Structure formats: C-alpha cells, structure tokens
Amino acid sequence: MEKCDEKEEREGGNQQQQDTIHTHTHNTRLTLSQLLATLGLQFRLFNVSGTGTISRAEAATLAATLNANGFPVGSPEYFVETIDSDRSGSISFKEYLEYMLARLNGLSAGPGS
C-alpha cells in the first residue's frame, strides 16, 4: 500500500469519509477501521509463534512480503531496527501499527516513503 497525496475534504462530512485512506496498490479506499483490521490481521499472520510480537525471523518474512508487494521497507535488519522503538529485538503490534500508519501517511523517512 502506498500513501495517496489526495486527502479527503473535511467539510463537516461524516466520520467515515474523513477517515478514508486511498491506496495505489489496489486502487481502493479503506476506512480507518478497515485499515486497522487489515494491519491487525497482517500482524497476526506474521506472528507465527503466537507470542504477540514479531521476532526477527518473522520480521524477515514480513519485510520480504512487503517488499515483494510494492511496499518497500528495505532489508529485514533495517526494517526491525526502524520499527523496534523500544529496542527489545522484536516488533510489538503498537510499534508495527505506528510504523505502518506513518508510512501510509508519508511521515516516515524509511525506504520508499
């Protein structure tokens, strides 16, 4: 998914319209709740061990998948170092969510932003 430069007009419209994100990859619009559900599902799919965090090995698979699907995140090592803000050696859902939302909004200095 890539950030779209288009922003929804905020003219007192409904909340769903205000929370819509446009993605180039699939040319779809997602509400914020749909985006959060999608990111949560992604996180759970790559947290194969079921620990609630993504290990370095799991992050390597996640980074390869994101890179292959048009969402460049760089090497697995760089990906983990960039996201792992508490330096625990693994990625929590909070860290993953913050990173992905920042990338989608063009706020990250990571590769491809």
Convert the pLDDT of each residue in 22-66 to its tens digit: 444 444 577 888 889 999 999 999 999 999 999 999 999 999 998
Residue 19 has pLDDT above 60, yes or no: no
> How many Å apart are CA 91 and CA 42, to the nearest integer?
13
Nearest to 108 by CA among 65, 78, 77: 78
User: Residue 107: which pLDDT band, with cuts at 50, 70 and 90?
Assistant: very low
Is residue 97 within 8 A of residue 103, CB to CB? The reply is no
Overall pTM surpassing 0.85 (yes/no)? no
E strand spans, 5-90: 21-23, 28-30, 53-54
pLDDT of 28 reads 59
The Cβ of residue 62 has, within 10 Å, a number of other Cβ atoms equal to 23
pLDDT of 14 reads 39
> How many Å apart are CA 29 and CA 17, to the nearest integer?
10
More confident residue, 27 or 102: 102
